[in-house]
Amino acid sequence: MRKRLYLLLFVGLFLVLSYNIMQMPGKSTVDAPAYNDTTEHYLNESIEETGAINVVGAILADYRAFDTLGETIVLFTSIVAVASILKVADQKKKEDDHE
């Protein structure tokens, strides 16, 4: 009885989600949510505004430069985390000498 209830629930959920996916606009159509004013602005104005002909580079290091700063800080934090867990060899040698 319980199993059947679960099955019915999941089939219903599957149907609802499938219906919603069917309603979504495709990736490469004009109505896609990602294709809005921002895209148009980047594609049309990026050369005049940044002087870089690689639009991806212009977005990465000019429009979204603050985001890239965050990415480099993530790298920095990863180094700090690893160094705090693992002992540095020079340090270990010094401690061995003390002992």
Partner 1 sequence: MNDIIIKSITRLIIPFIQLYGVYIILHGHVSPGGGFAGGAMIGTSLVLYTLVFGIDKSKQKFSHRVSEYAESGGILLYVSLGLIGIVITGSFLTNIEAGFPIGNPGSVLSGGMIPLLMVGIGIKVASTFITLFHTLIEEEVV
Q: Which parts of this chain interact with partner 1 (CB under 8 A)? A: 47, 49-54, 56-58, 60-62, 65-66, 68-69, 71-73, 75-76, 78-79, 82-83, 85-90, 92
Q: Which is closer to partner 1, CB of 32 or CB of 92?
A: 92
Query: Whole-number minimum distance, CB 48 to partner 1, in Å?
Result: 9
Query: Whole-number minimum distance, CB 95 to partner 1, in Å?
Result: 11
- Number of Cβ within a 10 Å radius of residue 58: 20
Query: Whole-number minimum distance, CB 45 to partner 1, in Å?
Result: 11
Distance CA(56)–CA(65), nearest Å, equals 12
Q: Which is closer to partner 1, CB of 22 or CB of 75?
A: 75
Residue position matching structure tokens 């050369």 = 47
Closest CA to 9 of 1, 39, 78, 47: 1
In single-letter form, the type of residue at position 39 comes to T
